[in-house]
Amino acid sequence: MARSVQLASDARPRPHGDATLIADADHFRTVVLDGICRAETSIDIMTADFKAMLVPTSVPTRKGRGSSPRIHLWAQRAKSIVQIFRALADAGVEIRLLHAGVPSSAALRELKQSLPRNLTIRRCPRLHAKAVLIDSRRMYLGSANLTGAGLGAKADGKRNFELGIWTESPSLIDAVSDHFNTLWEGRACPTCKHRDICPVPLEEPAL
């Protein structure tokens, strides 16, 4: 188990196995930018809601016509999380996304453009847990769904109030990973009492 909890703003080195408390807007920097966007080998996500949240990025632009290439402004653009997943999957990152509800219409539209071989999406209506496992060595576990309001991508006043932990604790990551795999592989399906709302266990989105 994690031995201690620190605030995300605390930049002191942390012993292996400690946990950092993630609150509200900290979710975006820690979970999305430092976590998902920097994944190298794998991403496993459990979320109740799945939306094509926009991830703001800064890109250099010319200051004006005829300006030197070295003189630029930073313009805010945004990519959807589906675009980011696609780029990571194309680069070899294996992504498994387990969600409860129907993906938002915007997410489905983007997924229909192409579904990379390394991106697999499955649905379990009973799922309410929220977790993001990065490369099997870093993890977010908390209240936030994979949405802009949940993971802090929206502006002040529009974000949800969320809490979670960010950890590198091997024992905690292994325990959550085991739970994820139990659901992902359908080991809970034979005794599930919700077949009336889930006639096709672990169905993948119809694109």
Region of 59 on the Ramachandran plot (φ > 0 left; ψ -120 to 50 alpha; else beta)? beta
Report all structural domains of the chain as residue ranges with CATH numbers, in order of start: 22-55+81-184 (3.30.870.10)
∠ CA(40), CA(46), CA(50), 5° rounding? 100
Q: Tokens standing for 197?
A: 């709302």
Cβ-based neighbours of 71, under 8 Å, separated by 6 or more? 62, 63
Answer whether residue 24 shows pLDDT above 70.
yes
Confidence of residue 175 (pLDDT cuts 50, 70, 90): very high
Average pLDDT for residues 122-145, to the nearest whole number? 96
The pLDDT of residue 9: 47
The pLDDT of residue 71: 46
| pTM (2 d.p.) | 0.80
56 vs 5, which has greater pLDDT? 56
Answer whether residue 125 shows pLDDT above 60.
yes
pLDDT per position as a tens digit, 95-118: 999 999 888 888 888 887 777 789
Rounded to whole angstroms, the Cα distance separating 48 from 152 reads: 16
Answer whether residue 48 shows pLDDT above 70.
yes
80 vs 200, which has greater pLDDT? 80
The pLDDT of residue 41: 97
The pLDDT of residue 5: 41
* Side chain identity, residue 99: H
Answer whether residue 139 shows pLDDT above 90.
yes
Answer whether residue 62 shows pLDDT above 60.
no
Of 29-38, 67-76, 102-111, the range with the lowest mean pLDDT is 67-76
